[in-house]
Chain A
Amino acid sequence: MSKEWPLWEVFIRSQHGVSHRHVGSLHAPDAEMAIRNARDVYTRRNEGVSIWVVKAGDITASSPGEKGPLFEPANSKVYRHASFYDIPDEAGPM
């Protein structure tokens, strides 16, 4: 039966987290049931305060084959990291 249901990616915002994080995937016939299933599968141990579900097919992913041109140019540019700056206390956590 589950083979006929589309796959959904599940994102949970935890008690302390600021943003939703990908936690896994599941099958469900529609978004409403995907939310319910996510509640039962991924928040049983008090993991979350908010759930997002996205149809896996609606996610556009970068192609592994393009890894070189996409990411390698950034390898040699350490100066882009903010670690060279002193962060004033008033700025809070970055």
Chain B
Amino acid sequence: MSKAALKEFSLRMGDNCLILGQRVSAWCGHGPALEEDIALANVSLDLIGQTRMWLGYAAELSGKKATADTLAFLRDSGEFRNALLVEQPNGDIGQTLMRQFLFDAWHQAMLERLVQSSEPRVAEIAQKALKEVAYHLERAADLVVRLGDGTAESRRRMQDALDLLWPYTGELFEADKVELSLAKAGVAPNLDEVRDAWNRTVDRVLADATLSPPETVWMQTGGKSGRHTEHLGYLLAEMQVLQRAHPGAAW
């Protein structure tokens, strides 16, 4: 296991949190109810907090002058390592919640294993994030069931969201040489185990929600190696504009 692999892994974890946090934050002030609006903002802030830990660690490992902020605001889309799932647009609230649920189920399965990491720093970050993520998953799963097993309209929207997002879930469990070497060293989990745990959660919740995943699907891939969908560029343009226009601006 090399330091470069550990840095790459931290970037992947951090970029997932950052991009999803940025996406969810766009609901602030636009939620379907005041209570839901605040809940989404909380989720977003939790994810940004986790981003600081993962990207802070990645910056230290890079050995250069990088910080969590420079990694967030000064990289181009090809350098981002997040899964394609989290950069997908918010759509309606159903689509946002389905994306959140599919991601949270993976996130929790990852973190539950990462707390056992042989790398103490990784275990520490995972420990801190796990309680937040357990709540995110509980909340998202509950809402997916309520809306899936809800009215004809809400069910249709949730099924559409599931069909739309499902092709982006395969990538979450694809192990490349970074993950394989980290799994061998006991730093990161075996992604087949994570997939099994994810399947158990997703099968149970979707059954309760009376929803079913599409049967045959071509799984999209590329996020981990920086090949993103067109959506990421727009997201970064908005997120990074201030630091790009006024480098080093602070308050």
Which of A14-22, A37-45, A55-63, A73-81 forms part of the interface with chain B? A37-45
Asked if B181 is an interface residue, CB under 8 A from chain A, the answer is no
Q: Which of A1, A28, A41 contacts B38 (CB 8 A)?
A: A41
Bound: A53/B176 CA distance, A:
48
Tell whether, in the assembled complex, residue B35 and residue A27 are in contact, meaning their CB atoms are under 8 Å apart.
yes
**In A5-56, which residues have CB < 8 Å from any B CB?**
5, 26-29, 32-33, 36-37, 40-41, 44
* Chain B min CB distance to A32 (Å): 8
> Is there contact, CB below 8 Å, between A2 and B139?
no
**Nearest Cβ on chain A to B30's Cβ, whole angstroms:** 13
Interface check B34, CB cutoff 8 A: yes
Contact present for A2 and B38 (CB under 8 Å) = no
B132 at the interface (CB under 8 A from A): no
For this complex, 16 residue pairs linking A to B, each with C-beta atoms less than 8 Å apart, are: A1-B32, A2-B34, A26-B34, A26-B35, A27-B33, A27-B34, A32-B142, A36-B142, A37-B35, A37-B36, A37-B38, A37-B39, A40-B35, A40-B42, A41-B34, A44-B42
Closest 4 CB pairs of A and B: A37-B35, A40-B39, A2-B33, A40-B38
10 more A-B residue pairs beyond the given contacts A27-B35, A36-B142, with a C-beta to C-beta distance below 8 A: A1-B32, A27-B34, A32-B142, A36-B39, A37-B38, A40-B35, A40-B39, A41-B35, A41-B39, A44-B42
> Which residue among A2, A26, A40 has the maximum number of chain B CB atoms within 10 Å of its CB?
A40
Q: How long is the Cα–Cα vector from A37 to B36 in the complex, in angstroms?
A: 7
B33 contacts A36, C-beta separation under 8 Å: no
Q: Which residues of B contact A (CB under 8 A)?
A: 32-36, 38-39, 42, 139, 142, 146
Q: Which residues of B contact A44 (CB under 8 A)?
A: 38, 42
Could you tell me if A5 and B33 are in contact, using CB atoms closer than 8 angstroms? Answer: yes
A contact residues around B34 at 8 Å (CB)? 2, 26-27, 41
**Interface bracket on A:** 10 to 19
Nearest residue (CB) in B for A3 is B33
A2 pairs with B42, CB closer than 8 A: no
Q: In the bound complex, what is the Cα–Cα distance between A64 and B11 (angstroms)?
A: 61
In this complex, the member of B34, B35, B36, B39 whose beta carbon has the largest number of chain A beta carbons within 10 angstroms is: B35
Given contacts A36-B139, A36-B142, contact A1 B39 (CB under 8 A): no
Taking a contact as CB atoms under 8 Å apart, the answer to whether A28 and B32 are in contact is no
Residues of chain B contacted by A32 (CB below 8 angstroms) = 142
- Cβ distance B124 to chain A, nearest Cβ, rounded Å: 21
Closest partner residue, chain B, to A28 (CB atom): B35
Chain B residue contacts of A27, Cβ below 8 A: 33-35
Give the chain B neighbours of A26 by CB distance below 8 A. Answer: 34-35
